[in-house]
Chains A and B, each alone.
Chain A
């Protein structure tokens, strides 16, 4: 392998839990209703995993589909990167178990916890591993079971967060299909999205809304600039599916006038690190983007962390 090898996404895969929960089906103890939830979040329904649907099992299911679509044998995978912030255990991480379920022990495996930005971090690491010759094929997965971590009596979070997994197989290419990442972090706002030790997920929604709607459009534009394109050349924008009002505000600010704006949150809720691959997979399945299209991904969340880049649709 030469140093001129580039990386691109070869295929995507997704796993959406069996159980669909509409707003009307949420627990009555949340003291909310369909209209209230739609107005504030855009969410109409979400998937909630059952007892047998774990972070690891959902990740492996999504990764398996992506490998099958790419036509890559799991034993040819050199690295498995699992982006997640909702593993039930602190030790061990989940990536090695995912690799084992896929049928390989030949791959390096580690978890990335950059919360809702995790998938973009993972994709950037994957591209680097391929460019340096450390791996030929990398599986990057965003998988979450946030239903384990929300307080089902807290309507600020219980109506928003959900479960699922999305995966990408990244492989060698003559021309780069994963643009330079634009990333950053702000630890002084670490408290605005957090699980205290022994507790459940807490989020200061207005603080998150202010942060996202006043700072992230500039991140998006810098990611485009690094990739050498202008926002009006984007075929789609796939922001982390945090809240439809954040997504809409970002879309207006970025100026991607010809782009489809991913809105998978309406039926999937906020699945943190899984939301970007799930939303991209949905756009592709629905024919709203095509192979080769330039798409901006933009992950952002707890930490605070953010990362975005222009990628080419597989």
Chain B
């Protein structure tokens, strides 16, 4: 799975949880400042991403994921074969 594939699948999760248009979910976007996503929605996104990508995203890591790119990189490094 390439980072672009991860990004596309991740954008679907962001849409399911927060109803953000997937075309707007690009690496430089910030969850809080650009999408107004709160901490509970971030947990929903994380648990959905854990299911979809088979990775673990603990709460301790979650607070460091400020942008879409941060999340995609985390998922890529956490075990999805590139």
Contact = CB atoms under 8 A, between A and B. Distances in A.
A42 to B, nearest CB: 11
Contacts of A204: 59
A40 B40 contact: yes
A219 B6 CA distance: 32
Given A206-B59, A206-B62, A245 B40 contact: yes
Contacts of A207: 59
B8 to A, nearest CB: 24
A206 B47 contact: no
A214 interface: yes
A39 interface: yes
Interface residues of B, number: 10
A243 to B, nearest CB: 8
B65 to A, nearest CB: 12
B44 A206 contact: no
A230 interface: no
Contact of B47 (A205, A214, A243): A214
Contacts of B59: 204, 206-207, 210
A213 B43 contact: yes
Contacts of B44: 209, 213, 249
Contacts of A39: 38
B13 interface: no
Interface string A193-219: 000000000001111011001100000
Contact of A213 (B42, B47, B62): B47
Interface of B: 38-40, 42-44, 46-47, 59, 62
24 contacts: A39-B38, A40-B38, A40-B40, A204-B59, A205-B39, A205-B40, A206-B39, A206-B40, A206-B42, A206-B43, A206-B59, A206-B62, A209-B40, A209-B43, A209-B44, A210-B43, A210-B46, A210-B59, A213-B43, A213-B44, A213-B47, A243-B40, A245-B40, A249-B44
